[in-house]
Amino acid sequence: MKPKKIQLKSAYIVDLAKIEGKGDFFCPDCGIKISPDDETENTYSILEPKVRGSVLEEVLICCNRCGSHISLVGFSLEQEYSFGTGIFRNKTKKSLT
């Protein structure tokens, strides 16, 4: 019996705290634009959110074009994760004045 080849997927870490704008970034492997506003899962799929208490620490996603696994870190208190929809968004800041 001939052994099967296993295709290893690339793994990356993207720190959202270092990204300017609305949280859009490009896949480090294939360059496709990944946006938190994309609710279709055509571009990426959410594999696993990692939460400690009520704090979102990391979201593991998979690029649907190249199959790379991307670990999203750097969530702040202004960001929340919607478990029902699998979407992470920025909370609107309220003015104190």
The pLDDT value given to residue 89: 52
Q: Which residue, 93, 92, 95, 50, is CA-closest to 75?
A: 50
- State the pLDDT at residue 46: 93
User: What pTM was computed for the model?
Assistant: 0.71
Q: What are the pLDDT digits (tens) for 28-47?
A: 999 999 998 888 889 999 99
For the chain, residues with pLDDT lower than 50 are 79, 82-86, 90-97
pLDDT at 4 (0 to 100): 67
Question: Of 83, 61, 81, which Cα lies nearest the Cα of 71?
Answer: 61
